[in-house]
Chain A
Amino acid sequence: MEEYKKIKTPLSDEDVLSLKAGDAVLISGVIYTARDAAHKKLIEEYEKTGKLPIDLKGQVIYYVGPSPAKPGKVIGSAGPTTSIRMDPYTPKVIELGVKGTIGKGQRTEPVKEAMKKYKAVYFATVGGAAALAAQKIKSVKVVAYEDLGPEAIRELIVEDFPAIVAVDAYGNDLYVEGVKKFAKA
């Protein structure tokens, strides 16, 4: 069985280029949460002011809407949500410096093109394995758009967060190639 590759955030171009679709990784360091509403706000703010509330250079964004934290816990269950909802905004956040996104499900062509052009990688994590994901999250802090409530941008510190490289910076897509390999029809 293949090993898990350990990676640390923020990611450099070199880090990104060393990853290939199908690689299993364990991510450690800071990652940021953002869903549809936060993406929309980020881009609107940038277009209006030319500034961002957080520095996106080299950062990784996780598409997640956790269940509420129980007393004494850092976070509730925190698995990925469907990435395609973020696709209208993703090329722009990649252009602004984001090096990795984490979610589930296929991405559209403009996202894959932006990943190739600006060197970024898309990680998929197992949808539904949300209690397991929560164990890998060590701290949570709201860093922007508190008014969005559960959709505010949060800074998570993760340790050995498991994911699979689904689309790499070379344009390889596990969702396409993996299925082709196993299709019998």
Chain B
Amino acid sequence: MKIVKYEDVVQRVRDACIYATHNLKPDVVEVLKRARETEESEIGKKVFDQILENVEVAKREDLPLCQDTGFSVFFVEMGQDVKIEGGSIRDAIVEGVRKGYTEGYLRKSIVEDPLRRKNTGDNTPPVIHFDVVPGDTLRIVFEPKGGGSENMSALKILLPGEGKEGVKKFVVESVKKAGANPCPPIVVGVGIGGTFEYCAFLAKKATVREVGKRNPDPFYAELEEELLEEINKLGIGPQGFGGKWTALDVHIEVYPCHITSLPVAVNIQCHADRREEIVF
């Protein structure tokens, strides 16, 4: 049994909220730089230059990369041999978000009710996806998810017979429809299979994978590459001004599904592909 202190979870979640919103991951910076070199549009190159300069300015001036510091989304894998001492894991994460967003001068973007729309004032509550796994490791992945890209998500239950081509068509059409709004160049998270709600979860989970890392199944790794190529033929380009790079990467997550259905979900992440992992 591993004992993890409540206060330690609060502190590290707080720090992750601030760090992730101020610092872009090296894998994302790397792929942005590579894309800049091969972008064919002059305006597109200017966009890449500003995105890359922004990364430097955010670091130097201690400012969030984007003013939309997002909905705080967490993926928690809790080893069944981990015990949180001094409180619950959920409360610790909520408290960490509260502290991170207030002490870190991050924007508070959450309203307490979808129709009455009063701001909660501290960016809580987060959305937390829990999973219980064997072992004594507690792994928390934080993703501050911006509204502009999230609003371009889509889900459809295809007929099984539509198969791989049907999936490709739906994903490419969803990206096309999203156009300039999700702040391209984007990372496209695709969920295939599961049930209605699990498919959406898979698409979101796909967005937190490291850019450039392929699905371990060669069949889906190949489909990721095919989709990336198709999407980058759309011409939407950086910020939708036209260009070669509409997407930096496509990540697919899959799950078994019912014999009658073929669910597919698309969740888009903007170029400020922010995330942070905490491991106890």
Contacts and interface: CB of A to CB of B under 8 A. Distances in A.
A24 to B, nearest CB: 6
B37 to A, nearest CB: 14
A124 B179 contact: no
A182 to B, nearest CB: 4
Given A82-B181, A124-B239, A127-B148, A183 B53 contact: no
Given A105-B179, A178-B41, A178-B43, A131 B64 contact: yes
B178 to A, nearest CB: 10
Nearest to B231: A185
A180 interface: yes
Interface residues of A, number: 46
B66 A177 contact: no
A156 B242 CA distance: 30
Residue of B40, B68, B179, B244 contacting most chain A CB atoms (<10 Å): B68
Contact of B107 (A24, A68, A106, A178): A68
A182 B243 contact: yes
Contacts of B43: 22, 24, 164, 174, 178
Contact of A164 (B53, B61, B241, B272): B241
A106 B240 contact: yes
B108 to A, nearest CB: 8
B50 A127 contact: no
Given A67-B105, A69-B105, A104-B183, A131 B61 contact: yes
Interface of B: 40-43, 45-47, 50-51, 53-54, 57-58, 61-69, 105-107, 146, 148, 151, 179-181, 183, 230, 233-237, 239-244, 270-272
